[in-house]
Amino acid sequence: MFKSKISRRRLLGSAVAAGGATAFFGPWKHNRVYAASTDKPIRIGLTADASGQYANSGASDRRGMIMAIDEANAKGGVLGRKVEYFHIDTETTPATGSRVAERMITREDCGFLVGALSSGVANAIGQVAQKYGVLYMNSNSSSPTESGENCHRVKFVWDGNGANFAKAAIKNAIDSFGSKFMLLTNDYVWGHDTAAATRKLLTEYGGTVVDEILVPQGTRDFSAALLTIQQANPDVVAAAVGGDDQKAMRQQVAQLGMGSKPAWINNQQDWPDVYGLPVDNLFGVFGTTWYYRLDLPGVAEFVQRYQAAFPETAMRVPGNVFYNGYMCTRELLAAVERAGTTNNIAVIKALEGHVMPAKDRMQHFDAMIDPVTHQVQQTIYLATANTAPAEKDDLFSILTQSTPEAVKDTAAPGACKLESYEATPTFDA
């Protein structure tokens, strides 16, 4: 439905391409000087929330992107061009996301957009980005709809989603705790999508759903739900409660000491949401895509780089949100190098199907950008609260790691209809 017409930008883009012949500057890029001072910088718009519900995670996300950009510039830029970034607060509000994306593309001349926590904001930005053909990296929104019905040709999704985490957790939970499940679901799109994925897996593995409790978005008191859970007495509670609701719930479950009986499966626990809290605030089993104490080469050095880059930050070690923000920006810039051009279609093609070795991503298994859904298929870790921490920040204890194939979101390819290349406006950033 979007017309592929975008006169001013395309005009601008082709003018630069004609005058620039950017790939030519390649050989000088190792000299740590920008190949040509007349060459315009590559501009990246950082669409991170700085206020609203995801302000804190947004800040972490943004630090990840900035570190990746700074590292690229220290190596002499990308295609010999300097990488610049520009940030505006997206306020955890979709309508603001739309406006910010419009401004970044039409006024700030950003050729790429990076950053998201809330799926609403990610959708809004993704839609505007698709209209202009600007590549958009959804760094941290884990709603299954992002790589399902709301997928776009220009949008790439870098976090694991609710379906991935459910896959990693459900079979394990049936084996260890029992098959009687109760669902505690936030009554909004993300909650329902995640619960649906859980239900499907339960039928597959022989579990049963005793009951589903829907809690409205904005719930601050979970006592009624927790009483109902006790009365029903299930083996496992699979919770899909997010945002501030989850923070309130965590607090109340910890007070009741209900974190171990029944067993709980929580969705992903974002590091900025739990950092600095007492360990009993973490309960049950939950997913993550990365942890700063994974015993893999490069991790320790990555943590040091983080600490050197952000000496003032209260969060002393990076977490999954920072990791995703960093990885998606770094891989975007790497794709531009591989494509040898900033032409958007060429960069999209360089990303689609790209395999990222486990070593480079500091995960256990190789990751791949799915060409059908544009979601990164990656290692998913199950973790629980660490009762024997090695240091103050050592909150997680990693239980298992699943291969990308084992946790693949099988519903997404059917739901995702990417726009064709022809329907995506083309330009050089």
Partner 1 sequence: MLALLPHIVNGLTLGLLFALIALGFMLIVGVMEVINLAHGSLFTLGAYLALSTIGADWFAGTGFGSWWLGLPVAARYVVALALGPLLAGAAGLLLELCLRPTYGKAPLYGLLLTFGAALVIEEVIRLVWGTGEQHLPIPAGIDGAFLLGGLIFSTYKFFAAGFSIVAILGVWLFLERTPYGAIIKAGAHDSEMVRALGYDLSKLRLLVFGFGAALAGLAGVIMAPIWGLRPHLGIDVVIPAFLIIVIGGVGSFWGAVIAAILVGLAVGVTGAYAPAWSLLSMYVLLVLVLGFRSRGLLGRKSALEN
Partner 2 sequence: MITLSDIPRRGGSPFTWPMGLFLAGLATAPLWLAPIGLYQYLGVEIAIWILFALGFNLLFGYIGLHSFGHGAYLGIGAYAFGLFQKNVDVSLWGGLGAAVLAATLAGALVGACLSHRRGIYFALMSIGFGQLFWFSAIKLRHITGGEDGLLGIPRPDLVIGGWRFDLNDNAAFYWFVAAITGLVTLVLWRLANAPFGRVLQAIRQNETRASFVGYDVWRYKWATFTLSAAVAGLAGGLFAMAQQSAYPDVMSLHQSGLIVMMVLVGGGLVSFWGPVLGVLLYFIARDVLGGLTETWLLWYGLMFVVMVMVRPEGVAGLLQGLRRRPDGRPAPLGKA
User: Is position 394 an interface residue for partner 1 (rule: CB under 8 A)?
Assistant: no
Is there binding between residue 260 and partner 1 (CB under 8 A)?
no
Residue pointed to by tokens 């017409």? 5
Q: Is 214 in the site for partner 1 (CB under 8 A)?
A: yes
Tell which positions 135-154 bind partner 1, by CB under 8 A.
none
> What are the residues binding partner 2 (CB under 8 A)?
1-3, 5, 7, 50-51, 88-89, 93-95, 98-99, 102-103, 106-107, 119-120, 123-124, 127, 131, 143, 145, 150, 187-190, 192, 216-217
For partner 1, the binding residue among 315, 351, 362, 407 (CB under 8 A) is: 315
Q: Are 245 and 215 in contact (CB under 8 A)?
A: yes
Nearer to partner 1, 14 or 255 (CB): 255
Residue 309 binds: one of partner 2, partner 1, none (C-beta under 5 to 8 A by kind): none
CA angle 180, 288, 191 (to 5 degrees): 55
Task: Mark residue 9 as left, alpha or beta (left: phi above 0; alpha: psi -120 to 50; beta: remaining).
Answer: alpha
37 CB-contact burial (10 Å; exposed 0-12 / middle 13-18 / buried 19+): exposed
Angle between helices 320-339 and 55-74 (to 10 degrees): 40
Q: Tokens 């006024």 sit at which residue?
A: 107
Q: Which of 252, 397, 401, 403 binds partner 1 (CB under 8 A)?
A: 252
**Shortest distance, position 56 Cβ to partner 1, whole Å:** 4
Compute the distance between CA of residue 152 and CA of residue 108 in angstroms, rounded to an integer.
Answer: 22
Return the residue of 180, 247, 349, 354 that touches partner 1, per CB under 8 A.
247
Q: How far apart are CA 303 and CA 299, in angstroms?
A: 6
Is the previous residue joined to 404 through a cis bond, with omega within 30 degrees of 0? no
Is 352 among the residues that bind partner 1 (CB under 8 A)? Answer: no
Q: Which does 350 bind (CB under 5 to 8 A by kind): partner 2, partner 1, none?
A: none
- Extract the runs of DSSP E, i.e. beta strands, from 51-95: 83-87
Q: By CB under 8 A, name the binding residues for partner 1.
A: 51-53, 55-56, 59, 187, 213-216, 218-221, 223-228, 230-231, 244, 247-248, 250-252, 255-258, 272-278, 281, 314-315
